[in-house]
Structure 1
Amino acid sequence: MLIWIILIIGPMLFGFYAQSKIRNAYNKNVQIPSRGRITGYEAAQAVMNSAGIHDVEIVQVPGELTDHYDPIKKRLALSQHNYRGTSLAALGVAAHEAGHAIQHKVGYSMMTIRQTMAPATQIAAGVSNYVITGGILLMVFGAKAFGYDLLMWGAVALAVICLFQLVTLPVEFDATRRAKQQLVSLGIVDQDEMRGVNETLDAAALTYIAAFAASLGSLLHILMILQGRSDD
């Protein structure tokens, strides 16, 4: 029971905390306008221009915190509040996504690895829950051999997801680092305004750590169940 709490409940609670942290930080700093009144769109454009990037389209997408950079389409997507807004949160998120565009341009190795893994990870994410659930149900109803086999495939899928999320961490941290540097060096925000930017981006980083912790905990839990097979 203690192991189950550590591996499953602990990461789950950490995930709730991380989501609450980013929501609170974003909702707070989206209400604070920057002195320069530069929009998120303009900030992303300025950061990319400074890096010599002129072939990335910036588009507005629906939703909140749906911002992302698509290296295949060379498209930087910003949610409405961050595309049109002038808040510290909007500028931080926009510059962060522009940081990904810079990574793409300079051939940042971890981003390249992450993109290479993306197709396999999408497949793994799509089947892992079904395979693991099926394996557990088979074991409950007495078909232990088939159940263990399914759990083995589930563990493989979780391992792919964990590795992808582990690679994601330096990609996101590096994009944040680039964003913070560019916002100040380009004069988009003043140094004393960086507190709101830092608060938003640092809270966002927690969500990636939480996602990795949750997947790792699930993987270790499945591996412990599989270990029981060899002990039978």
Structure 2
Amino acid sequence: MTGFYYASYGLVIIGALISIIASWNVKRTYKKYSSYGNLRGIRAEQVAQAILSSAGIYDVRIERVLGSLTDHYSPREKVLRLSDSVYGSTSVAAIGVAAHECGHAIQHAKGYVPLAFRSAVIPVVNIGSTLSWPVILLGLIFGWTGLIDVGIILFSLVVLFQFITLPVEFNASGRALSILRERNILYGQELDASRKVLIAAALTYVAALVSSILQLLRLVLLRRRR
């Protein structure tokens, strides 16, 4: 049992390596194209405002938030937050990120079902994320297999959330690239550069899902061994 227990850590290590590589890749890609300014000299927050207005969205605020690549859209608050590395930047990388977040705002405005479902399950997922490991550890300490099962189910909610996140993120990127192309905000190689940045960002979500699936598989295998 001990040998199997330690061997199962191989799944965790593989998942961690995948996540590290994906994180490194998105930072490298963003840094590379953050030095490429767009020909029109338009700033990322201006692009975001133009996209929202063209979509008939006038009740979403655009705010600056601390950090790098901490950009996000909050459906509950109807606030689109752009990070320090994006807000005020004219780079094609920053514009791609800003347009992506606008994609989420458009999803919200149009009632995109996967986004609505993801937002609805967040409270439950937070509970699962917080309690899963303490419950599993208690089950292991006291030898209560039922408690281990509960912990695995709670952790499965996290995996489910990450699975739901994939279509939401890919759809937002697809909307962003279409808008940037159709409104002639970016041209040719500029658009290709933004696409590479958004693909790299999307792969971080794929990596997170794979890592969590491997962790879940390890837990299930350990539970069966017991």
Q: How far 1:41 moved relative to its partner? A: 0.5
1:160 aligns with 2:157: yes
Aligned residues: 222
Give the aligned partner of residue 227 of structure 1: 224
Task: Give the counterpart of 2:52 among 8, 30, 48.
Answer: 48
Matches of 1:66 and 1:133 in 2, distance apart? 32
Matches of 2:84 and 2:185 in 1, distance apart? 19
Give the aligned partner of residue 30 of structure 2: 26
Give the aligned partner of residue 8 of structure 2: 4
Q: How far 1:81 moved relative to its partner? A: 1.9
Q: How far 1:153 moved relative to its partner? A: 2.0
Question: What TM-score do you get using the length of structure 2 for normalisation?
Answer: 0.93
Matches of 1:209 and 1:108 in 2, distance apart? 20
Q: How far 1:128 moved relative to its partner? A: 2.2
Q: Which moved more, 1:197-206 or 1:2-11?
A: 2-11
Q: Give the match's secondary structure for 1:60.
A: strand
Matches of 2:196 and 2:175 in 1, distance apart? 16
Could you list the runs of 5+ residues in structure 1 that have no partner in the other structure? none
Matches of 1:225 and 1:192 in 2, distance apart? 49
Matches of 1:3 and 1:85 in 2, distance apart? 47
Could you list the runs of 5+ residues in structure 2 that have no partner in the other structure? none
Q: Give the match's secondary structure for 1:69.
A: strand
1:95 aligns with 2:77: no
Map 1:1-232 to 2 at 5 A.
Answer: 4=8, 7-136=11-140, 138=141, 143-144=142-143, 146=144, 148-229=145-226
Matches of 1:3 and 1:31 in 2, distance apart? 44
Matches of 1:3 and 1:48 in 2, distance apart? 51
Structure 1 vs Structure 2 CA RMSD: 1.6
Matches of 1:194 and 1:129 in 2, distance apart? 43
Query: Percent identity among equivalent residues?
Result: 38
Question: What TM-score do you get using the length of structure 1 for normalisation?
Answer: 0.91
Q: How far 1:3 moved relative to its partner? A: 6.9
1:83–1:154 Cα change, 3 Å: same
Residues 15, 215 of structure 2: 8 Å contact kept:
no
